[in-house]
């Protein structure tokens, strides 16, 4: 994720074909749906 923040000025996040978020990477990475899909959320903690 550091590469995305350091290189991109805007990011679009798609997970399994569904749009999750779009915007400045620092803000996109704060979105609960993005965190759950790519960083780890409830499902990730249970596995």
Residue 44 has pLDDT above 80, yes or no: no
pTM: 0.71
Identify the pLDDT of residue 45: 46
pLDDT at 13 over 80: yes
The structure tokens listed for 30 are 């704060």
pLDDT digit string (tens) for 29-41? 999 999 999 888 6
C-alpha distances out from residue 21 to 2, 7, 31, 38, Å = 17, 18, 7, 12
Map residue 14 onto helix, strand or coil. Answer: strand
13 phi and psi angles, rounded to 5 deg? -115, 125
Cβ atoms of 18 and 34 within 8 Å: the answer is: no
């Amino acid at each position: 994720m550091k590469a995305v923040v350091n290189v991109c000025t805007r990011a679009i996040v798609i997970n399994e074909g569904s749009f999750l978020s779009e915007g400045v990477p620092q803000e996109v990475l704060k979105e609960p749906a993005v965190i759950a899909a790519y960083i780890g959320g409830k499902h990730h903690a249970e596995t």
